[in-house]
Amino acid sequence: MLVIVAPGQGAQTPGFLSPWLELPGVADRVEYWSAVADLDLRRYGTTADADEIRDTAVAQPLLVSAGLLAAEQLGDTADAVAGHSVGEFTAAAFTGVLSPEAALVLVRERGRGMAEASATTPTGMTAVLGGDRAEVLEALATHGLTPANDNGSGQIVAAGTVEQLQALADAPPARARLRSLSVAGAFHTQHMTPAVERLGALAAGVLPGDPRTRLLSNADGAVVRSGRDYLNRLVAQVSSPVRWDLCTETLSDLGVTAIIELPPAGTLVGLAKRALRGVELLALKTPEDLDRARELIKEHAGSPSSSSEGL
């Protein structure tokens, strides 16, 4: 059983789009999508520096466009699809819930809304690695922080004000390491409520399709069958925690045997390496990885899952 996953914000690195532009037709696609996103995606994906692509309004359309460019090289082949945070929009377009253009318009406004919300109060996110799960959650609650991403594999991302994050840094949970993330705000918390309203107003005019394959939701790891339900979840997820740990549990229950992560890849296969032992993993970083991706598709796609009828 083959699963394709799409990463979220923070996965981007300077120049990561460059090798993909060498593929036939990709530069034209990027030019078109730049008009849709109202951003120079080519420049941001090739020559822009880390600070420029850290900007939420830039990072989100850039991530989705890069994921879709790679997905178009693979075809409609996955047995299940999941995205992390903004990667859910990549997943929605890959499975036919949204057109690529609709996904980019929604992400454009999502990114702008989240950037504006982030500018209201200085906020951020910090990964808490290791430690006892209960103790980590207790420490976050003590400082008024939200477990905005529960990624499993001993990784929980705390989100809140700069002062709250500093308090956590000054008194971290036992046996835990802290790592500040390259994001501009406290995503998936109540700080993003204005962005939810903005995105919801726009999403109301979209006519989604139903997913062509199993499509997982960050809200609870559920397989969502209705395109409208999934779109509503995308809107609500902006201010709600990402439960990637539950998505991982669902993939395990489905009987996943191989995972391909779309670019800029690495984060999600890293989590899967610890949580889904024995599963073949591929971080699709450059076009040089496409041959291996196609081999995995040939070997694993279309195989029966262990409990697909119940999910």
- Catalytically annotated residues: 85, 188
DSSP 81-110: EEE-TTHHHHHHHHTTSS-HHHHHHHHHHH
Helices 56-74 and 26-37: crossing angle in degrees, nearest 10, is 140
* Cβ neighbours of 261 (radius 10 Å): 29
C-alpha separations of 132 from 95, 128, 172, 177 in Å: 37, 11, 12, 12
* DSSP character at residue 192: G
Determine the Cα–Cα distance for residues 142 and 231; give it in Å rounded to an integer.
Answer: 33
Determine the Cα–Cα distance for residues 28 and 34; give it in Å rounded to an integer.
Answer: 10
Q: Which two structure tokens, joined as six digits, stand for 40?
A: 């120079």
- The answer to whether the beta carbons of residues 145 and 105 sit under 8 Å apart is no
C-alpha separations of 86 from 47, 92, 131, 195, 201 in Å: 22, 10, 27, 13, 18
Q: Which two structure tokens, joined as six digits, stand for 97?
A: 């819930």
**Contacts of 88 by beta carbon, 8 Å cutoff, 6+ apart:** 6, 82, 217, 218, 233, 234, 237
Determine the Cα–Cα distance for residues 37 and 16; give it in Å rounded to an integer.
Answer: 18
